[in-house]
Chain A
């Protein structure tokens, strides 16, 4: 499917595009390497969440546009749980991109959006390898439970759901080991998305992390 999003890149001002799946993360991307896949995973997840929220308010929702000073992000849901987004220069032609999104959506609906191996998403086999070889140890699981409880003090009732989702994502990116705990915290911080609350969460976690390190 890379050639389909490559067609978007031909449009003046379009830097690249990406297709994300709510379960597998980035399916395919032709964005420059400066846009790291793990970051684009996060962007995709937030866009999927935002799109779902928008859909609850507006039945006729087509696209979401985020206009930043440096870039513009335009997102279109292809089907439930799968979203296409383009990152553009602020001078891009929005109408042309919308038309291309419509054409691409048609291709997708016709079933012409066949996945190939270009994106190298984790296969079922690889995922099962991670889950068996990368099982979370009991002490680490206890730590994660504590972290989840503390997140509840910051985010309230949705914390458990968010924490589980982030941990699931974290375990697919590498071995679930304490050496990668900062990566997990960084991903949680992106979900918290409020510097004051991030600082508060860090404060609450510091003694717990120290205690874990001491054993």
Chain B
């Protein structure tokens, strides 16, 4: 995997990304460009656990992302990457499909597991 700082820097430069953070699944923050990373970190951990449980109950095999959709359109996405979780805050006025495509593309480059292809 690329260094956390480098990876975070590249994600943050994608059009439509307002901020991001990378954490380990145990909650340790490896890098961030958002305020209050601890708040996001706790939510990401819980999101990861719940999505794993939902995945098992629906018979699915891989979670691409989980998103918290907000009325102000600053949606928050959680992407599982092996033992890590990437959180991305979306800019309100952006092409969501483009942003998700670019983030998934970068994840595919650094990830050693899961599916790298982008839908």
CA distance A57 to B60 in the complex (A): 27
Known: A35-B58, A39-B58, A68-B60. A46 touches B69 (CB 8 A): no
Residue B82, interface by CB 8 Å:
no
Q: How far is the CB of A83 from chain B (nearest CB, A)?
A: 13
With a 10 A CB-CB cut-off, give which of A49, A61, A66 has the most chain B CB atoms.
Answer: A66
Residue B13, interface by CB 8 Å:
no
Select which of B43, B50, B65, B119 is within 8 A of A57 by beta carbon: B43
Residue A60, interface by CB 8 Å:
yes
Q: Are A193 and B52 in contact (CB under 8 A)?
A: yes
Q: Which of A175-215 contact B (CB under 8 A)?
A: 190-191, 193-194
| Neighbouring A residues of B42 by C-beta, 8 Å | 53
Q: Are B62 and A69 in contact (CB under 8 A)?
A: yes
Q: Are B60 and A70 in contact (CB under 8 A)?
A: yes
| Neighbouring B residues of A67 by C-beta, 8 Å | 63-67
Q: Are B57 and A61 in contact (CB under 8 A)?
A: no
Residue B76, interface by CB 8 Å:
yes
B78 nearest CB neighbor, chain A only: A66
Q: Are B53 and A68 in contact (CB under 8 A)?
A: no
| Neighbouring A residues of B16 by C-beta, 8 Å | none
| Neighbouring A residues of B65 by C-beta, 8 Å | 67
| Neighbouring B residues of A60 by C-beta, 8 Å | 70-72
Q: Are A68 and B58 in contact (CB under 8 A)?
A: yes
Q: How far is the CB of A13 from chain B (nearest CB, A)?
A: 13
Q: How far is the CB of A33 from chain B (nearest CB, A)?
A: 13
Select which of B54, B63, B70 is within 8 A of A47 by beta carbon: B54
B69 nearest CB neighbor, chain A only: A63
When each residue 51-83 of chain A gets 1 if its CB lies under 8 Å from chain B and 0 otherwise, what string results?
A: 001101110111111111111010000000000
Residue A50, interface by CB 8 Å:
yes
Residue A136, interface by CB 8 Å:
no
Select which of B43, B56, B58 is within 8 A of A53 by beta carbon: B43
| Neighbouring B residues of A90 by C-beta, 8 Å | 119
Residue B46, interface by CB 8 Å:
yes
Known: A67-B65, A68-B58. A62 touches B50 (CB 8 A): no
Residue A22, interface by CB 8 Å:
no
Q: Are B50 and A46 in contact (CB under 8 A)?
A: yes
In the A-B complex, list the 4 residue pairs whose CB atoms are closest, starting with the nearest: A68-B60, A60-B71, A46-B50, A63-B69
- Please list the residues of chain B having a beta carbon within 8 angstroms of any beta carbon in chain A: 39-40, 42-43, 46-47, 49-72, 76, 115, 119
* 15 extra A-B contacts, CB within 8 A, seeds A60-B72, A66-B51: A40-B57, A42-B57, A47-B50, A53-B42, A60-B71, A61-B68, A61-B69, A62-B71, A66-B55, A67-B66, A69-B62, A69-B115, A190-B56, A193-B52, A194-B49
- Please list the residues of chain A having a beta carbon within 8 angstroms of any beta carbon in chain B: 35, 39-40, 42-43, 46-47, 49-50, 53-54, 56-58, 60-71, 73, 87, 90, 98, 190-191, 193-194
